[in-house]
Amino acid sequence: MAQIDNDKMVMFEERCRKAGLKVTHQRKAIYQTLIESKLHPSADQVYRQIKRSISTISLDTVNRTLQKFNELGLAFTVEGSGEARRYDGNMHDHQHFKCIKCRRIIDFHHGEFDDIDIPPAIAKIYKILRKTVYFEGICDKCK
């Protein structure tokens, strides 16, 4: 495992402990699969990957665990509706481009998008927890 992943695993274990969540072998495997994937996988994709090494794991466990990670700020769901929820373990500032043909979700980073202003009319009504810029289109491979 690369050094950067070791640091992330330490951070992960600390975050779980603080939240009173037991650091189990399964939870570690789910988190590691998520952060190593560049595909913004759905719960089903994470499940299929992990099942190769942990045959007893269930899709339901993976689903619930990913949602828990979401609540703890260890992952978030990528926007876009009408299909399975996709998860992202990359917590650095970044934005997404999604190809409507092959459904790839690609990370990009444009510094000016990190701190976009919330229109006052929106801020008055809603509590904003996360801001993001999201592009949809056709990727280089599908074009």
Residues that bind Zn ion (CB under 5 A): 88, 90, 99, 101-102, 107, 139, 142
Smallest gap, in angstroms, from Cβ of residue 40 to Zn ion?
A: 6
The distance of closest approach from Cβ of residue 97 to Zn ion in the complex, given in angstroms and rounded to an integer, is 10
Report the residue number, 37 or 90, with the smaller CB distance to Zn ion: 90
CB of 103 to Zn ion, least distance (A): 7
> Which lies closer to Zn ion via its Cβ, residue 71 or residue 136?
136
CB of 125 to Zn ion, least distance (A): 28
Encode the chain in three state secondary structure.
Answer: CCHHHHHHHHHHHHHHHHCCCCCCHHHHHHHHHHHHCCCCCEHHHHHHHHHCCCCCCCHHHHHHHHHHHHHHCCCEEECCCCCCCEEECCCCCCEEEEECCCCCEEEECCHHHCCCCCCHHHHHHCCCCCCCCEEEECCCCCC
Q: Which is nearer to Zn ion, 21 or 133 (CB)?
A: 133
- 60 vs 107 by CB, closer to Zn ion: 107
